[in-house]
Structure 1
Amino acid sequence: MKKILLTILLLAGCSAQASETLDVKLDASKTELEAFEPVTITAAVTYNGEPVQDSAEIEFELINPAGNAIGSVKPEYGGDGKYTIETSFDGTGTYKVISHVSYKELHEMPEIEVTLK
């Protein structure tokens, strides 16, 4: 009987955590740019379908075409679960922006690419 009760409690705890969702959607104002042209990157962050206010830990990591990190930027909170940076890149090739978003006990790392001509 104790084993059955323990199993039920464990399953109930796991299903409660599994129902929590952190969703991060990245968007760039442009995906094809000239060198040093400004681009705005926005992360729309929701937790269980609701916008995450400014209590999330968010950082955007910038990666050059060779795959090396060239810096990290903390975004500004713009309201309604949206976190934004404005940046620019030099050279040519495809750069990545990886968002590191932590909220409660969840972590998401979606990425977006921008190409410099």
Structure 2
Amino acid sequence: MKKLYMCTAMLLVILAGCQESEMPEDKEVNSAVPESMDASIVIKGKLEPGKEVILETTVKQGSQLVNEADEVLFEVRKSGQDKREMLEAKNTGSGMYQVMHTFEEQGKYIVVSHVTAKGLHVMPEKEVVVPEHESEGASVHPSTDVSIEFQSNPVKAGNSSNFEATVELNGKPLTNADVNFEVWKEGSEESHFTKAEEDGNGTYLNKVSFEESGTYKVQVHVEKDEVHEHQLQTIQVN
């Protein structure tokens, strides 16, 4: 009987020793810290009361662009007020997430981007001033020299619309670019791409069909060499 007790005690000591020897390895595995995530906010378009602009955030983890964030929301509130809007942004590629927004009144606003991705959450904040009248300083995306002018004719459900994008770089027509129209119905997760055909002088065209009436978002994608630009707008299909 004593031998049985001694064997049992020795077995328990051996098991305890094995568990202790494994603990440092577990701690080493769990000690890995993910790279920090960064996000920056840009407002594209002229800030004027009642005019749509693009709220954009670019998300990076280390040197890698993040295109599969779990959620990206823009919080918009007027300075000094508690009322706020929460707007869901859509990924447009190259780590960028965008949503259209209209600042209805002049004044100072606080824009916060809530980014959740890869188990991390960041909240960059930007102060935006909407002037009472249009001015030269109202445009807040001076870092890009690309301009995109989009046009479409009125369309009814079951028909197609002529899409046209005129693209300039440094004030001159941008030719031989890769231009695509991305279209999705408001509230839908599914989007469709239509490649635009160049018509000369920086103009790109194609027809896009709409099966249902409703509000649609159109994202114009422009790529050429180092140029990678987007423009988002809203159209109504009757």
Q: TM-score, normalised by structure 1?
A: 0.79
What corresponds to 1:71 in structure 2?
Answer: 85
Matched ranges for 1:21-100 at <5 A: 21-30=36-45, 33-100=47-114
1:65 to partner: Cα distance: 2.1
1:8 to partner: Cα distance: 8.3
Q: Are the equivalent residues in 2 in contact too, given 1:61–1:69 (CA < 8 A)?
A: no
Aligned length: 113
1:52 to partner: Cα distance: 1.1
Runs (4+) of structure 1 exceeding 6 A deviation are none
Query: Which digits, 9 at most, give the CA deviation of each residue in 1:61-104, with x for residues without a partner?
Result: 11112232321110111011100011111222111111110112
Q: Are the equivalent residues in 1 in contact too, given 2:69–2:118 (CA < 8 A)?
A: no
Tell me if 1:20 matches 2:35. Answer: yes
1:56 to partner: Cα distance: 2.9
Larger gyration radius, structure 1 or structure 2: 2
Q: Are the equivalent residues in 2 in contact too, given 1:56–1:102 (CA < 8 A)?
A: yes
How far apart, CA to CA, are the structure 2 residues paired with 1:39 and 1:112?
15
What corresponds to 1:113 in structure 2?
Answer: 127
Q: Percent identity, aligned pairs only?
A: 26
Q: Are the equivalent residues in 1 in contact too, given 2:68–2:117 (CA < 8 A)?
A: no
RMSD (Å), alpha carbons: 2.4
Higher relative contact order (CA 8 A, sep 6+): 1
1:25 to partner: Cα distance: 1.2
| Structure 2 unaligned regions, length at least 5 | 1-19, 132-238
Q: Are the equivalent residues in 2 in contact too, given 1:60–1:99 (CA < 8 A)?
A: yes
| Structure 1 unaligned regions, length at least 5 | none
Which one is further off, 80-89 or 47-56?
Answer: 47-56
How far apart, CA to CA, are the structure 1 residues paired with 2:108 and 2:74?
16
CA gap of 1:11–1:93, structure 2 versus 1, over 3 A, is farther
Partner of 2:126, secondary structure, is strand
Partner of 1:33, secondary structure, is coil
Q: Are the equivalent residues in 2 in contact too, given 1:64–1:70 (CA < 8 A)?
A: yes
